[in-house]
Amino acid sequence: MTGPHVVLGVAGGIAAYKACELLRLFTESGHRVRVVPTAAALRFVGEPTWAALSGQPVATDVWTDAHEVPHVAIGRSAQLVVVAPATADVIAKAAHGLADDLLTNTLLTARCPVVLAPAMHTEMWEHPATAANVATLRERGVIVIEPAVGRLNGADTGKGRLPEPEEIFFVARRLLARALRGQEQSALLPHMHVVVTAGGTREPLDPVRFLGNRSSGKQGYALARTAVARGARVTLISANVSLPDPAGVAVVRVGTTEELRRATLAAAEEADVVVMAAAPADFRPEQVATSKIKKDEVGDKPTLQLVANPDIAAELGEQKRPGQILVAFAAETSDAVTHGRAKLIRKRADLIVVNEVGVEKVFGQETNAVTVIGSDGSVSEVGEGPKEEIADAIWDLVAARLHPDS
């Protein structure tokens, strides 16, 4: 394999077995992977497994092949370092610059992007020492993915579960792609709290029916996932979306437009960036039936009284703090740019992402094409591509406003 050189560090936790799947994702997509397990990790998954899966010799200590100076050479040659799982011990050593084994030496010598995927018990993750160590690493530009919530060792559940390998791979791949393109660090979002809304709201008519729309939430989820890959702390407010939770994202589930409004306003109070990618229903029934509406009771031409829902983006625009960035979306079926300009002004947004939608167009699709209009009069056309690429283009524009002198 002649692809990008990735170092996969594996620390000593029960989640080490999941790193085998992460390794497979890297190798099957053409990456050259050198596995660097700690001594404790080898008690969970043995050296022959790592060697067979990677097709590379496995470096286990600083003494093997000492003439090649592995404690320096491995880190220097890496284009990306991923540690999964990253235990509290490894995180502490990395934060304090300790180097008592090959993995921690590699972390000190690497000058490429570094991703840590923590896995530990909830009490360990929430301990002030771990929190301080994670903050230190993020300050230095290390991407530390928030652990997932779920089953831990034994019967324990809570925050501290290793994110799924596919999600770690996504973050690593996006970060590596940016590094290989030589894109500026200023386009990252370290220390930023980002709120993203996704999906479509549903307004109940009765206990079994609702008014809704075709939004799948895929663009909002792509925005959340790519923000994690840029180092942001992400809150995703998800309205009726069936997609898996992105790694490192705090997900808040809502159903109606009013629920979306309350959750978004609360999260936006301390957010640096709010991206309104959800499709809230513009109207709701004036009255909701307490039992299923019967056809024989309403006849062949029933009348439905609707009232307008609040404009959440406009409310956010009115309450926007100095320095806070608001990104609105405008999904239109015709004359999209004209309608988008009007909405940008009305909502007091910094950016508005405009796209034309319809049946089998954008909603539920894997690709998108958008026009991003700025409050400064700028217009950026983003041609059709995967929704992750669209998301990255949007974050580049956001980052340019967050760091105007970079």
What are the residue numbers of the active site?
213
Question: For residues 212 and 2, what is the distance between their CA atoms, to the nearest angstrom?
Answer: 48
Beta-ladder partners of 292: none
Report the b/e string of 296-314 with b at 16+ CB within 10 A: eeeeeeeeeeeeebebbbb
